[in-house]
């Protein structure tokens, strides 16, 4: 018996050593959402001092500092007194989730894998693997910046090459004039000056093209359907943030055919920013985003409302400022609402906000016809 216990103890130590060799957090969770086994990486992730401090506690408390089951958990509808996860686990195989997480006031993007463990045909426990993909996304952004710099280098090289041609022509023509100034026929002299003028015009056009490329384009509007633009923005947000928007109800009070002059691409970006703010405020929980469109004689008014808690009164006059964010957790850049304000201003419109009864209500007022010169 003693030999058997020693053997089991050795096997348990071997298993723990294998788990500790895995650099990503691994957590064994029973049907009561209690932590049964973790590896060393989990202690670092959860800032727990040792293994005993995690065992027997709720997984959502240890891992994510929540007081209830995480809203993005695939077993969130599971009752803790049920003996298995059969009813609550989604699908027969593993389930993955990409979620936002805040640790030490820093936003992280995590990918969670949930692997079911079956016994006698029932799912009795789950292994959760936590992958921090923030560094991967940062690396992708760094690669994008490198590619952009490479493209910029090619662009500058091309501009230099284009400018070199007329500059070389002017240099050769001036050199020829200086060498033959005393003997040159006036007609020939005039032709050489015309050549210099043509090269100067070419150089000026190249510089003008670069300036036009660098500065923002003038607002281009078309007779577009605001209902279609709102629906495209909604679909885009749901596609980009499927888990974040999973529990969100949408109420779109508008009809196809509400057309007037605006830029559909920029207006879609505006609605995407507003919808994303509402989704993040709900924090994966249930809620509703309401959009209402009203047309008056000369204006189109669009209202975007959520009930995610509202905005403190002392912040209402600051939220459209660049880099200002009411979210102290680090989520967001603080540029979204500033961009929205800029887009509405480009359209000679007005963007206002009200907050009451834990509601936030944005009002976008746009003229049906853009003023001349805009």
**pLDDT confidence of residue 330:** 37
d(CA 109, CA 99) in angstroms, rounded, equals 6
More confident residue, 106 or 366: 366
DSSP string, 200-263: HHHHHHHHHHHHHHHSPPPP--EEEEHHHHHHHHHHHHHHH-TTTTTTEEEEEE--TT-EEEE-
Q: Which pLDDT tens digit goes with each residue over 155-208?
A: 676 667 667 767 877 888 888 888 887 777 888 888 888 888 877 876 776 676
Q: Which residues contact 117 (CB under 8 A, 6 or more apart)?
A: 28, 123, 124, 125, 126, 127
Q: Which residues of 219-247 are buried (b: 16+ CB within 10 A; e: fewer)?
A: eebeebbbbbbbbbbbebbbeebebbbeb
**pLDDT confidence of residue 187:** 83
Q: Which pLDDT tens digit goes with each residue over 24-36?
A: 999 999 999 999 9
Q: Is pLDDT of 334 > 60?
A: no
Mean pLDDT of the chain: 82
Are 125 and 31 in contact, with CB atoms under 8 Å apart? yes
Are 115 and 129 in contact, with CB atoms under 8 Å apart? yes
More confident residue, 369 or 6: 369
Is the pTM value of this prediction over 0.95? no
- Strand (E) positions, the chain? 26-30, 35-38, 95-103, 106-119, 122-132, 222-225, 248-253, 259-262, 287-295, 299-306, 350-356, 359-367
**Domains detected in the chain:** 1-138 (3.30.450.20), 216-373 (3.30.565.10)
Q: Is pLDDT of 71 > 60?
A: yes
Please state the rounded mean pLDDT for residues 48-59.
92
d(CA 302, CA 317) in angstroms, rounded, equals 20
More confident residue, 335 or 257: 257
Q: Which of 129-133, 223-227, 285-289, 356-360 has the highest mean pLDDT?
A: 223-227
More confident residue, 329 or 286: 286
**pLDDT confidence of residue 169:** 76
Are 253 and 292 in contact, with CB atoms under 8 Å apart? yes
Residues in the chain: 374
Q: For the chain, give the longest Cα–Cα distance.
A: 119
Share of the chain above pLDDT 70, in %: 81
Q: Of 133, 114, 206, give the one whose Cα is nearest residue 165.
A: 206
Q: Is pLDDT of 237 > 90?
A: no
Q: How many CB atoms lie under 10 A from the CB of residue 374?
A: 13
Are 237 and 272 in contact, with CB atoms under 8 Å apart? yes
Provide the token pair at 189: 């002299």
């Amino acid at each position: 018996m003693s030999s058997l216990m020693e053997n089991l103890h050795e096997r348990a130590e071997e298993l723990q050593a294998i788990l500790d060799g895995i650099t990503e957090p691994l957590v064994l969770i029973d049907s009561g959402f209690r932590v049964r086994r973790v590896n060393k990486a989990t202690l670092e992730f959860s800032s727990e001092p040792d293994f005993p401090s995690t065992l027997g506690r709720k997984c959502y408390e240890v891992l994510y500092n929540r007081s209830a089951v995480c809203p993005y958990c695939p077993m969130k509808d599971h009752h803790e007194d049920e003996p298995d996860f059969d009813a609550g686990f989604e699908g027969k195989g593993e389930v993955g989730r990409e979620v936002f997480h805040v640790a030490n006031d820093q936003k992280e993007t995590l990918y969670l894998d949930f692997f079911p463990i079956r016994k006698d045909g029932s799912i009795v426990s789950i292994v959760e693997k936590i992958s921090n993909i923030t560094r991967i996304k940062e690396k992708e952004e760094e690669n994008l910046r490198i590619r952009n710099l490479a493209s910029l280098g090619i662009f500058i090289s091309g501009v230099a090459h284009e400018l070199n041609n007329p500059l070389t022509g002017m240099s050769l023509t001036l050199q020829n004039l200086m060498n033959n100034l005393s003997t040159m026929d006036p007609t020939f002299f005039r032709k050489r000056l015309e050549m210099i003028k043509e090269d100067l015009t070419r150089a000026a056009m190249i510089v003008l093209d670069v300036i036009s490329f660098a500065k923002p384009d003038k607002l281009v509007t078309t007779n577009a359907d605001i209902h279609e633009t709102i629906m495209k923005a909604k679909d885009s947000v749901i596609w980009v943030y499927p888990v974040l928007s999973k529990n969100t109800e949408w109420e779109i009070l508008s009809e196809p055919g509400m057309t007037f002059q605006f830029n559909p691409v920029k207006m879609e970006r505006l609605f995407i920013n507003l919808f994303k703010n509402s989704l993040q405020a709900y924090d994966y929980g249930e809620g509703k985003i309401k959009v209402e469109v009203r047309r008056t004689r000369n204006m189109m008014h669009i209202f975007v409302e959520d009930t995610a808690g509202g905005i403190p009164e002392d912040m209402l006059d600051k939220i459209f400022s660049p880099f200002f964010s009411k979210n102290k957790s680090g989520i967001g850049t603080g540029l979204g609402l500033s961009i929205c304000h800029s887009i509405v201003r480009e359209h000679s419109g007005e963007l206002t906000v009200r907050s009451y009864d834990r509601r936030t209500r944005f009002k976008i007022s746009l003229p049906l016809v853009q003023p001349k010169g805009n």
